[in-house]
Structure 1
Amino acid sequence: MYRNARGFMPRDRNICLHSSSEPIAERERISVWVRLKCGVSSRWKSFTLCYLKLKSVCDRIFHRLFNWDRFPYVGSRPSIDELAKTSETCGWNTAKIRFITCHPSSMQRMLLTSMDTALIYENMLEKPLCLSSPKQQHLSCGAFRPWTWRQTAVGGEGGICLWKFSNGGYKTMTWLGYREGDIIVDLQWQHTGILLVTASLGNQRIQIWHPELKQVLQELSMPVMGTNYWAMRYPSDMIQLLDFLRTQSILFSYRNSMKMLSSQLVERWPLQTAVWTAQGNHLLYVIKGSSKVFGSTSTMVIGPLKQEFLIWSSKEVIDLASFFCNWHECKGGRVQSIFMDPLNIYVAFIFTRQSFVLLCLLHIPLGCSIKLKPVQIIGCTEALYAWPSCLAFGNVRRSGENVRRSLIIGWSTGKFQVVELYAQTREEALQLEEQDVQFPQSFYNIDSQ
């Protein structure tokens, strides 16, 4: 019995020791895994917290860069000399016609004069409607309201004059005040005619107005100073412009935004003039004091994580210091302003020290950069020692079901010239250029009307 008990007890004790060692090893293994899991979780939380703190600091630093609300005015009041330097009107101080704009779908034209009056032309055989007000000072821009034929907006010092007029000469003005001392230098309507978009000279920002509410809904701070003028001329809808300005990628700092494009242009050299093509995927621009025309083209690229972003590349299109037009060598020089045909057929140039307008044929091959071909030189035969101050593409008269387009040129002497453009497509423009067809021209004088 005793021997059996001694023989039995050690065997049971070994069994007990063996059976008690398994839970201890299991507890030790689970404990290591839990500790590892807790360590990884704590480090991830720490990393996330540091990232959020860093993001908060960056947001505060770049708050003014990416904030789309209205900013307080901190810039100095612009002077008339600054307005004359930044204006694309050649000789803004002395030119009698400072700005020309045309209605997008009718034959209406508006000329802004040095007397701070707006002349509305509906029929060239009748006297124009004169819009004047003590509020209109240093007028520099204007635009007709789309889908209506009796409303227009004029921008100048301090704000905007919104005019309503009728055939009988009845007219009313609504004042949209912006900031005293600042100057509205660019203006356009949203394609639906609901919102009004302006650019100011003093604070270098873009304003989005609701005319009926008489207030600014949003004020956009541009990423680089000096880009607000040509940025707001984006030909697509204002919603697309906002997306173009604001859209950005989180990863790899790829930006499908105006900052990437403007940093490549304005930060290196100041721009004299710039204009978008009708599709909005090409930009023509000229550097201050230069005769070279550059084209900036966007290319869609797929990123490492299948993200789409734009890469902008610039290339010289043509040097207008010396060029050939109709087999003749011509001298151009410094470019003052560029004007784009809404149909993407022609591009017109005004030079700083030349008494003619250069009309070029625009060509954008599929997947290639912009090409320009000089086709005609338009001068003023009605006055000597005159230079073009401004121009605009518009409509001239109806021919059957088509609306013939025109080029309206304002001259420094107070005359303006209407040149009819026959071509409705690029192929027609090439045929007219090969046949050396001269466009019909008419001259009018604002002083006699």
Structure 2
Amino acid sequence: MASLNAFPDFPSPGEITVCERGGRICSLPANEVNASLSCKLLSYPEINIGRELFHHAATHIREDRRTIMMPVNETLLKRITRTFFEEGTVEALKEAANYASTQYNPLIGSIARYMLIVVSIGNHIKLFLKPHLKDQGIDSVAKYSQTKDWSKSAIRYISWHPNCFKIAIAASDDTIRVYSDEPNIVPILKSGAQKFVGSLAWRPFASGELAVGCQNGVLVWNIDPNSLIARPLSQAVQLKYKQHYPVTSVEWSPNGCLLSTASINNPDILIWDVDQNRQVPLRRVGPPCALLKWSPTGTRLCCTTVGNVFRVWQTNKWIPDRWTINHGTIQSIVWSNSGSHLLFVTTEDSFLYCLGFVEDEVFTSTLVPKSALPVADLSKILIDQVEVGGRPQALAWCPQSQYLAITFKDTSAIAIFNTVINRTQLNISPACFLTGTGIENASCICFQLNLGRRSNEKMKTVLTIGWSSGRIQYFPFV
């Protein structure tokens, strides 16, 4: 089993690891990093989304709308009716309970108070049966996000297009910036319905179709690179279905025909035919879904939940294999390029696990129960007096399944492993640690899916890192 103890030491003080070349790790002084990268990655956009670009609303300050209006004399019925339409049933009952008992009919106040008690008992029963509903709003999205410190991070998600040189970056101001090899054109996607972005996915074989999972469901943007930079809401199609929101994971099938979505408030996975605006729910009794990941071959769809259950669906018949873990929930999952191996980490321990699939069967001996095998120990250790490892945050596996990157919840260094797959066997070995400058933490990571001709040197793959400062770093493997 691989472990962090076998990793090489960090670069010398004042140096930063900038690339991997022929199996050797290259480091340079921090003040030369930008110049070196600009020589090797000529057409890659320089991105630094600083906090000064954001104009956050003070979401923590909420004024009672009744206090900013001029006081007027209203009858009890009008007051209750207005509150009902503006703020809902519970607030209307509170209005009746507060004002009727003191200024109007005490009987109405007593009835309202008893109804509030009934509503409270019903809510307690609901939370007992469905404890995941205790986390609502931005806190629930942050809890199940792949991004470290999602609610505070300048960068909340990164997504490379699978077929062309185009990268989408979701920022904490609820905008999405799209960068390409045209540095003068940076589309900015923003709308009132796009709040708390939790996931992005480019549609394969379509140059400008981007699905966005957010608080209000799914927005599908159709981006025309020749139009204005700022995109109005009319260019986005909103997909909503009953209580299927907030959407924390959106994934296109590898052929681009189907869009799968998951919501932490709904146990159903939705499979969308976006062109026809139709959906089919994959219904299962149990905790809601949190994360989806198609295998690159399109034959399987892995779905994690907010509980200890996860399922792997066979998409030819849409039949699921149900799996459970001992403690916690699944934190992150990745598929190998052939779809033969599934790697995952959990929220409660520091191991990397592997499930293998060959001819629709998990490759375990007939004498041994089918189970996931730990392949790497990620327990926290000290290297050069710096803590590394611990509970994993996110996984990223390169398209060739040669390099695996792992970020951690409590430490800032990124661990890079070398991986080799021999049909039923995965070999994993340590490569290096990556660190930011100063006190930066890696918020999110992903590998570029399609390199094309983007540099003056042939590269195997490029790891893209979104640092907590808002800086994007490209780490090439040459």
TM-score by length of 2: 0.61
CA distance 1:324–1:376, change in 2 (3 Å): farther
Structure 2 counterpart of 1:317, from 348, 351, 375: 375
Q: Which residue of structure 1 aligns with residue 417 of structure 2?
A: 360
Alpha-carbon distance change, 416 to 244 in structure 1, aligned in 2, over 3 angstroms: closer
Aligned to 1:292: 351
Structure 1 residues 367, 176: closer, same or farther in 2, change over 3 A? closer
Query: Residues of 1 paired with 2:352 and 2:178: CA distance?
Result: 33
Matches of 1:235 and 1:353 in 2, distance apart?
A: 31
Matched, 1:349 2:403: no
Cα distance in structure 2, aligned partners of 1:123 and 1:300: 41
Alpha-carbon distance in 1 for matches of 2:357, 2:372: 9
8 Å CA contact 2:406, 2:415 repeated in 1: yes
1:221 to 2:221 alignment: no
SS of the equivalent of 2:294 reads coil
Alpha-carbon shift at residue 107 of structure 1 (Å): 1.2
Are 1:141 and 2:203 counterparts? Answer: no
Q: 1:206 aligns with which of 269, 281, 284?
A: 269
Distance 1:288 1:182, change over 3 A: same
Would you say the 8 A contact 2:442–2:468 is kept in 1?
yes
Alpha-carbon deviation of 1:145? 1.2
Mapped to 1, the partners of 2:319 and 2:342 lie a distance apart of 15
Q: Which residue of 223, 227, 230 maps to 1:169?
A: 227
The letter of the residue matching 2:341 is: H
- In 2, Cα distance between the equivalents of 1:150 and 1:295? 34
Residue 92 of structure 1 corresponds to 150
Cα distance between partner residues in 2 of 1:116 and 1:126: 22
> Could you say if the C-alpha distance between residues 103 and 328 of structure 1 is closer, same or farther in structure 2, counting changes exceeding 3 Å?
farther
Indicate conservation of the 8 Å contact 1:283/1:297, yes or no.
yes
Residue in structure 2 matching 1:159, options 210, 213, 217: 217
| Superposition deviation, residue 173 in structure 1 | 1.6
Change (3 A) 1:149 1:246: closer
How do 1:3-402 and structure 2 match up within 5 A? 76=133, 78-123=136-181, 125-126=183-184, 128-170=186-228, 171=231, 172-179=235-242, 182-216=245-279, 218-222=280-284, 225=287, 229-230=291-292, 232-237=293-298, 245=313, 257-259=320-322, 262-263=323-324, 265=325, 268-298=327-357, 312-321=370-379, 331-368=388-425, 370-381=426-437, 384-394=438-448, 395=450, 398=453
| Local SS of the residue matching 2:207 | coil
Hey, what does 2:474 align to over in structure 1?
Answer: 418
Task: Call closer, same or farther: CA 1:360–1:181 in 2, change over 3 Å.
Answer: same
* 1:327-368 deviation digits (Å, cap 9, x = unpaired): 999731111111121211111101112222221111233433
Matching residue's letter, 2:440: A
Q: 1:209–1:215: 8 Å Cα contact kept in structure 2?
A: yes
Q: CA RMSD in A?
A: 3.7
2:264, 2:290 within 8 Å by CA — same for their partners in 1?
no
CA 1:319–1:108 in structure 2 vs 1: closer, same or farther (change >3 Å)? same
Q: Distance in 1 between matches of 2:160 and 2:316?
A: 35
Unaligned runs of 5+ in 1: 1-72, 250-254, 303-307, 423-449
Counterparts of 1:328 and 1:416, CA distance in 2? 27
Mapped partners of 1:103, 1:247: distance in 2: 23
- 2:122 corresponding residue in structure 1: none
Distance 1:416 1:126 in 2: 18
Asked if the contact 1:143/1:188 (under 8 Å) is kept, the reply is yes
What is the percentage of aligned positions where both structures have the same residue? Answer: 25
Amino acid at match of 1:416: I
1:193 to partner: Cα distance: 1.8
User: Contact 2:204/2:256 (CA < 8 Å) preserved in 1?
Assistant: yes
Deviations 1:49-96 (A, max 9, x none): xxxxxxxxxxxxxxxxxxxxxxxx999584321211111210011001
Mapped contact 2:262–2:289 kept (Cα < 8 A): no
Structure 1 length as normaliser, TM-score? 0.64
1:256-313 residue CA offsets vs partner (Å, 9 max, x unmatched): 8421xx23x2x654222222222223221222132211222346699xxxxx9x9733
Using the alignment, how far apart are the partners of 1:324 and 1:375 within structure 2? 17
Higher relative CO (Cα under 8 Å, sequence separation at least 6) belongs to 2
Residue number among 461, 464, 467 corresponding to 1:405 in the alignment? 461
Quick one: which amino acid aligns to residue 432 of structure 2? Q
Kindly state the Cα deviation for residue 185 of structure 1 after the two structures are TM-superposed. Answer: 0.8
Separation of aligned partners in 1, 2:131 and 2:409: 33
**CA 1:371/1:329 → structure 2, altered by over 3 Å: closer, same or farther?**
farther
In the superposition, relative to structure 1, how do residues 121 and 366 fare at CA in structure 2: closer, same or farther (>3 Å)?
Answer: same
Q: 1:384-411 CA deviation, whole Å, 9 max, x = no partner?
A: 2110111111145516897753111111
Q: Which runs of 5+ in 2 are unaligned?
A: 1-129, 304-310
Take 1:238 and 1:190, find their aligned partners in 2: how far apart are those partners? 9
Alignment partner, residue 44 of structure 1: none
Contact 1:299/1:311 (8 A) holds in 2: no
CA distance in 2, matches of 1:320, 1:291: 5
The answer to whether the Cα contact below 8 Å between 2:264 and 2:289 also exists between their aligned partners in 1 is no
Partner Cα separation in structure 1 for residue 241 and residue 398 of structure 2: 31
Structure 1 residues 149 and 401 mapped into 2: Cα distance closer, same or farther (>3 Å)? farther
Q: Distance in 1 between matches of 2:321 and 2:288?
A: 12
- For 2:148 and 2:132, the matched residues in 1 are separated by 26
Larger Rg: 1
